[in-house]
Amino acid sequence: MLSCDTFALGKKYYIENKNCLGKNSDRPLGEAQPIAFYPGGKHPAGEMLKCTHLTIPQAAHTYTVLGCRPYWIWGFEMGVNEMGLAIGNEAEWSRSDAEAEEGLLGMDLLRLALERAATAEAGVRVIAELLEKYGQNANANPLFDRRYENSFLLVDRDEIWLMETAGRRWIAKKIGDWAAISNCYSIGGEYDMASPDIETYAREKRWLRPDEAFDFAKAYSRSGRQSTALHRYRRQKKLIAAHAGPLDRAAMTGILRDHFEGEIIEPRWDSCAAMFPSICMHAAEWNGSQTAASIVCAWDDELGPVTWYAPSLPCLSLYIPVYWTGDTPAAMGKGEGTYDENSLWWQTQRLAMLVSADESRFGGAVRAELRKLEGEIAAGAEEAEQQARQLIRVGSRTTACELLAAYTRAASDSAMGLVRRLCESVSSEIRKDGGPYGTRKEFLEEYCARVGMPL
């Protein structure tokens, strides 16, 4: 299972002088990933918490969190808490000995860190403690048995930390400028925290020569698993480094919509039929991975965490702002394992699949309309945020939250309306042809039959 690309920008590299997290979550095809709030609070002694596969003791206090959650999983692919800590994770595969005991999913570890930690460094320590106690040997796929280890990018208001894990061992590094991660380890010999035996274990396994300097990525990586991840890791770094000055949100979403355009491995025919998994990842087979959701998240000193969420494939979707109001529109928080016409995730997924039937024919016009509305939503968000700031400054935070929640609902409704209209327009053209043609015909027919989605 190929999955995910994540990057974090320090204050000097994001135009608003804030730390910022961006991530594409790549998951099994047809796995809805809506976004929703989950309230925190105080918990009585002895309370237990049901995670995806394990039940563990609950913490005495948890923070309210906002996250993108695969419909059948307790944890998050990416999320943020009320303190401004945002985390994204990546699947990894190490040379560590396999475990038989069931553990916590990396997504569960991510959400637990958001619920229990106020800062990035504290989040590293929460994950480390839980990892050492429970391990991470857990199935992360609803269709097949797929297990992996994890890397995490943790971003708070002031710091960025990169944490990488191998079995129950871990290593972490504080990031000064920016970082990008994919499904390949990136911490070398410089780090700030780690399991006590992180180096001795590697040397006992003869993963390093006796006179060779310790390099975590080189020692622990399972080489065969990096064949496509390294390309995406380097592509993220190249796109970030190409900017002469700080990136803005449009530049970040542009990276998250990338398909290796202009590179030797760019798609042969179109982005929906890519031969190499790209940052915006399109599945070519039923058992493949595809981008299920995308976010850009940053802390605002007055508004709190501001998260821009795109359901399904970001290149055929649009980013909608979600503010710290405790409320997400019903359509944005809805979606399971089969098609639901009232789910924004499923409607956007349907549009992406329809366009992929003949991207050269439909893609340009569809993307133009999506980007037009996205621009209008962004402009309206600036106005709504300015009004909210004025209300907050005179002590009317509740009214400000109501205003922002209403704006997100309006943006969600506009997105749903456009996506539905585009779906019907493209579907009508395909029906006139008697069904789909082209390289993805059988794939689309099988996928639609499996999830009950009309083409």
Distance CA 150, CA 136 (A): 8
Alpha-carbon span 1 to 141, nearest angstrom = 9
The single residue of 4, 68, 280, 423 carrying the catalytic annotation is 4
Query: Is the distance from CB of 319 to CB of 294 less than 8 angstroms?
Result: yes
4 in active site: yes
d(CA 152, CA 193) in angstroms, rounded, equals: 14
Contacts of 195 (CB under 8 A, 6+ apart): 128, 132, 168, 169, 170, 171
Q: Whose CA is closest to 248, among 308, 168, 194?
A: 308
Nearest-angstrom CA–CA distance, 16 and 302: 13
Q: Which residue(s) pair with 175 in the sheet? A: 160
Kindly give, in sequence order, each residue whose CB lies less than 8 Å from that of residue 234, ignoring residues fewer than 6 positions away: none
Tokens representing 196 are 């006590």
Tokens at 222, concatenated: 């399972």
Q: Which of 188, 113, 191 is nearest to 152 (CA)?
A: 113
Q: Which residues are catalytic?
A: 4
